[in-house]
Amino acid sequence: MEKIDEIDRKILACLQKDGSISQRDLAERVGLSQNACWRRLQRLNATGLIRGTHADIDVAALGYDLTVFVMIRTRHHSKEWADDFRKHVDRLPEVIDFYRIGGDWDYLIKVVTRGMSGYDAFYQKLITSFDLATVTGFFSMEAIIDNRAADLNRLK
């Protein structure tokens, strides 16, 4: 893990709250000159602690009102099959998160779509050309905690 200090934690906390903050405002909030803040931002980006800046889009406002957590169990565990499956899932635009997991299931996919018919269309694309042992969907009724910022105080 990259060694970070209290000022780095302040910078990261500010960026988690508002990734569009200007460097001048960020420097002011963390108590640095603009140049010193810029150098720290460059280092945090170079080390991979900051992985870009993006907007948090309300997909439900765009009509994507159904979130489904898809659990997958497979009979295949070769690297070649897994690589092919990853490429297949990556091509499905409904997928917003994709994990290989341990336990009774092999993969977890988070899907956002327009209603049940949208999910059914996704499901048909998902299972095409792949031998999946079990596929089940858990339908979200409410996001209680969603995209929570990391607690940087735990890094001390």
The HSE-up count of residue 102 (CA atoms within 13 Å, CB side) is: 0
* 136/134 Cα distance (integer angstroms): 7
Asked if residue 149 is part of any domain, the answer here is no
pLDDT of amino acid 154: 76
150 part of a folded domain: no
> In which domain, by residue range, is 88 found?
59-139
Using one digit for the tens of pLDDT, what is the confidence trace for 72-105? 999 999 999 999 999 999 999 999 999 999 999 9
Q: Would you state the structure tokens that stand for residue 80, as one six-digit string?
A: 């070649």
Instruction: Based on the fold, state whether residues 34 and 82 are members of the same structural domain.
Output: no
- Indicate whether 95 belongs to any domain: yes
pLDDT tens sequence across 104-132: 999 999 999 999 999 999 999 999 988 89
Residue 129, domain CATH: 3.30.70.920
Same domain, 130 and 63: yes
pLDDT band at residue 156 under the 50/70/90 scheme: low
Residue spans of beta strands (DSSP E) within the chain = 66-74, 95-100, 107-113, 132-139
Domain check: are 88 and 116 in the same one? Answer: yes
Q: Which residue has the tokens 């499956």?
A: 85
d(CA 69, CA 88): 17
Closest CA to 111 of 103, 102, 120: 120
Q: What percent of the chain has pLDDT over 90?
A: 83
**Per-residue pLDDT averaged across 8-17, rounded?**
93
Q: Is residue 147 part of a domain?
A: no
Distances (CA, A) of 85 to 72, 110, 119, 154: 11, 15, 19, 36
Do 127 and 78 share a structural domain? yes
In a domain, 131, yes or no: yes
pLDDT band at 26 (very low <50, low <70, confident <90, very high): very high
Average pLDDT, the chain: 93
Mean pLDDT: which of 50-54, 101-105, 150-154 is highest?
101-105
**Do 41 and 88 belong together in one domain?**
no
Q: For the whole model, what pTM was predicted?
A: 0.85
Tally of structural domains, the chain: 2
DSSP secondary structure code for residue 153 in this structure: G
Q: How confident is the model at residue 142 (pLDDT cuts 50, 70, 90)?
A: very high
CATH code: domain of residue 19: 1.10.10.10
Domain match, 83 and 112 both: yes
What is the rounded distance in angstroms from the CA atom of residue 85 to the CA atom of residue 73? 12
Do both 37 and 69 map to the same domain? Answer: no
